[in-house]
Amino acid sequence: MPSLRVLGHAFRAWRRNRTWAKHEPETPYLADLLSGSPTCLHVGASDGRHSYVMTQVAPKARIYAFEPSAFAYEVLRTCVAWHRIGRQVTPIHAAVADKPGELLLVTPKKSSGRMGRAYAYVAEVRPQGPARPDLDDRGVEVQPTPVVTLDAFCQEHGIAKVDFIRMDIEGAELKALMGATGILDRDRPHVLLEIHPAMLAERFDASGDAVLDVFRDRGYRMFALDGDRLEERTTLVEGLPWKDYFFIHPTKAGRLPDGVFKARMAA
């Protein structure tokens, strides 16, 4: 039986999903990406908000939802059960990186005293000093978490094709993508990726440009929201601690549902 804290968090997430409240501005665009029976990887699934949306815009979708936090994983499992989407969504308690094993999940404590679960990230060692360069924290909670690579996970579970990847992992983007190059090369999936330039530089010895190079080298086109307008970009938006970006490969343009991405890719 889930704890009362888990049930409380799960109820708030379940209610938000049912009323389509507090969803990120990129969420409505999933309907312009997914149709038919896509196989989706939801990395950094948290309470499963994007997994839920995927099931609504593509009712035959198969979704594997990866969440490293033990607490958030229980919230995710509870939400999946309450939404009755267990046949579509498989929760996996693991972080995603460039090699399998185990890492530490670092969760900052906010100045309010609450745990900043949305700001948690993986690390090899416990941080000294501030947990993040973009947050005024009051200490951290550290827990070990299992780690998988997406390439190995798909091979081990017989997943022959991936259509879409949603990834929000607080600076570990490059590490996760390096463990998914086989999928990117084989399937050219659509990707919705939150990129964290400061975290990449300060905690992962990487950069936003290095993340973009993964897609540039494979011929992807990149899109991002500017207010309520979707624009094509070749660089990251400057001055933001993080932002979501869509990556679409030209070879997949013809299979897109009718909508903004199909129109933009044809231009």
Question: Does residue 120 carry a pLDDT above 90?
Answer: yes
Neighbours of 227 (CB within 10 A): 7
In the prediction, which pLDDT does 170 show?
A: 97
Average confidence (pLDDT) over 7-23: 91
What is the per-residue pLDDT across 223-232, written as a single tens digit (0 to 9) for each? 999 998 999 9
**What is the distance, to the nearest Å, from the Cα of residue 183 to the centroid of all Cα atoms in its chain?**
16
Is residue 193 very low, low, confident or very high in pLDDT (cuts 50, 70, 90)? Answer: very high
Place of tokens 């307008």: 229
Q: Token digits for 57?
A: 């815009």
Element (H, E) at 12: helix 4-19
The predicted-structure confidence for 41-95, as pLDDT tens digits, reads as follows: 999 999 999 999 999 999 999 999 999 999 999 999 999 999 999 999 999 999 9
Q: In 3D, which of 134, 180, 124 has the Cα closest to residue 155?
A: 180
Give the pLDDT score at 262: 95
Tokens of 233: 């970009």
> What are the residue ranges spanned by the domains of the chain?
4-97+147-266
Q: What is the C-alpha separation between 102 and 124, in angstroms, rounded? A: 9
Q: What pLDDT is stored for residue 180 in this prediction?
A: 98
32 near 259, Cβ under 8 Å?
yes
DSSP one-letter string for 172-207: -HHHHHHT-HHHHHHH--EEEEEE-HHHHHHHSS--
Secondary element (H or E) of residue 165: strand 164-167
Q: Which pTM was predicted?
A: 0.96
pLDDT tens-digit series, residues 23-37: 899 999 999 999 999
Stretch 171-189: mean pLDDT: 98
pLDDT(173) > 80? yes
Exposure b/e, 202-222, CB count within 10 A at least 16 = b: bbbebebebbbebbeeeebbb
User: How far apart (Å, rounded) are the C-alpha atoms in residues 236 and 92?
Assistant: 30
- CATH number belonging to the domain at 4-97+147-266, selected among 3.40.605.10, 3.30.420.60, 3.40.50.11740, 3.40.50.150: 3.40.50.150
